[in-house]
Structure 1
Amino acid sequence: MTHIYGIKNCGSVKKALHFFDTHALPYTFHDFKISPVSREKIESWLKKSDMSVLLNNKGTTYRTLGIKALELDDNGKIEWMSNHNLLLKRPIIEYGDQLVVGYDQSHYEGIFQS
């Protein structure tokens, strides 16, 4: 089963959910705001994706919290992402043994419709 993580009011998440719905692809949705993901889950994702991909350093939360000025190492970044899931780039999709981060329709078509 495909698992999609994010928040419902995020534009990229809305596009991803629309893609899955219009292509009749089954999934479960995990809303960060309702049930935050754990440090262990984030660490498992980092085995399949780079920190630079998973950490949303262009978002409002990143700027508001002043994360850049903290000059954190990877452990510190993981700690912040664990405590503030909105620092994670969205959506995060677990598909088999793959992890897909962000929304890119052509990429989705190549992965989820093959």
Structure 2
Amino acid sequence: MKYKMYGITNCDTVKKARQALEKKKIDYDFVDFKKTAPTVEDLKRWEKVFGDLPANKKGPTFRKIKDEFEAASRSEQINLLLKNSSAIKRPILESGSKVLCFGFDEDLYKKL
């Protein structure tokens, strides 16, 4: 099974998730939001699973755009997240086109 992880290289939570996969010798592709921005389709796919746009509402980047984000239409919110990819919840782990996890869930990673 091939995995794909989306995130930001210097994020501590992403680092933990990557270490968990590497410790188990699980092969995965890493997509760095800073080098390969997520697409509208990515956000919509994640929204279906997450139940909302996957904004990291506790993070410093989101706090900077919080008021603008909350006042924006859905399409404007998508554009804000695309422009501020650090405000997207991470890591996002997928297998094929199936989303397995938002953030780092140690128990889930142990089961992989």
Q: Same fold (TM over 0.5)?
A: yes
* Structure 1: segments with no counterpart, 5+ residues: none
Contact 1:38/1:82, CA 8 A, preserved across alignment: yes
Work out the CA distance in 1 between the residues paired with 2:16 and 2:108.
13
Q: CA deviation at 1:76?
A: 2.8
Instruction: Report Cα offsets for 1:2-60 as digits up to 9, x if no partner.
Output: 100111100000000000000011100000111111112111221222226x1101111
- Aligned pair count reads 109
Give the AA of the match of 1:25.
I
2:100 equivalent to 1:109: no
2:90 equivalent to 1:82: no
Secondary structure of the corresponding residue to residue 68 of structure 1: helix
Work out the CA distance in 2 between the residues paired with 1:24 and 1:14.
15
Contact 1:45/1:99, CA 8 A, preserved across alignment: no
Matched-pair identity in %: 30
TM-score for both structures, normalised by structure 1: 0.84
Work out the CA distance in 2 between the residues paired with 1:33 and 1:104.
23
Contact 2:21/2:109, CA 8 A, preserved across alignment: no
TM-score for both structures, normalised by structure 2: 0.86
Work out the CA distance in 1 between the residues paired with 2:56 and 2:95.
21
* Structure 2: segments with no counterpart, 5+ residues: none
